[in-house]
Structure 1
Amino acid sequence: MSTTHAYYPSYPAGSLPINMPQKPGYYNPGAAHQGYGRVSVSPPEAADSVTTSGITSYEPSATSSSYAGSSSEYESSASAAGVDLMDYMGSRLNGAFDPTPLDRSLVKQAQTSGELNAKHRELLELQALAQRRLAGARLDFADGMRAAKELQKDLQWTQKRVNALNERAARKYPEQYRAAQQKYPAPVDY
């Protein structure tokens, strides 16, 4: 795998950069290392036993010291000490977490939900009562209208009978009828 350094731009084949004169004491990388614009070096190879979870880790040389160990070293030290990480983290979480405010809020939520359900049931009962009363009032109104119509018919029949009797009395007894009309005048309809 080849990589290109940002310090050395690539040039077309057959052309080289122009050497510019420099002041004495300055380092000219082009003059000392002409042709090293690209470095072709592959990364170091890892041993097959050092790969974990698909990621390659490189072993340091035997002479250099390292602060990082392999994953197998961590696993062996954890199992040797007899520490279960899940139990340890669970106990730490239980010690750090106080469920009292959560319990109080759950109790308050349950109480509020119960009160809302009771009010909802009460509203449904009142609505059913109002509907029953309204149905009763409609029946009463219909009965009253029927009775009023029957009464109106009866009054009209009675008025016709009274008018017929008055006409017969006016024809048969005209003088007495006029005297009775003056003494008891007929009511005025408004």
Structure 2
Amino acid sequence: MRIFYDTEFIDDGRTIDLISIGMVAEDGRELYAVSGEFNVQKLKANPWLVENVWSSLPTRRHEGTRCADCRPSGPGHLDLNHPDVRSRAQIARLVADFILTTPDPQLWAYYSAYDHVALAQLWGPMINLPAGIPMQSDDIVTAAKLAGLTPRNMPKQADGHHNALADARHNRVMAEYIDSVTSR
């Protein structure tokens, strides 16, 4: 059974720091988690991440404080008390349970290489992947190319760009579209 997923992460050219992960299984189950341990200052130093990812995370502003980031136009703080915000260890357990309760799991992502590294690093080096977790992710972009599709004729995502769960849901839509084209 296919599991469509997406990750948001900070990539500084040396490390991939997980921000969030969203997963959608073909049987309808979904998982969304935000790391409470990513380097928030590195995210806030990256204008693209602030504009595209930060706005989809559970954040809060602290009215009446002196915090420079807490002004109404500032990015605020990650809400560490939000139920979606978890430790990396908790996310690793949730993701492992999600994958391992899926019969014959296949991982699928859009431009999957970095997503797979972000996922695998939940357990440390690749050698630490729990038994049953796939050691690779299939790529929706490659599947589309093999089906003769280009980005112009693939389904477009209406909203939720760079929210890991919304992106995972859209990955499923794209994969199902590829299926419909290749089954003709």
TM-score by length of 2: 0.15
Point out the structure with the larger helix share.
1
TM-score by length of 1: 0.14
Structure with max Cα Rg: 1
Point out the structure with the larger strand share.
2
Q: Which gives a bigger RCO, structure 1 or 2 (Cα 8 Å, sep 6+)? A: 2
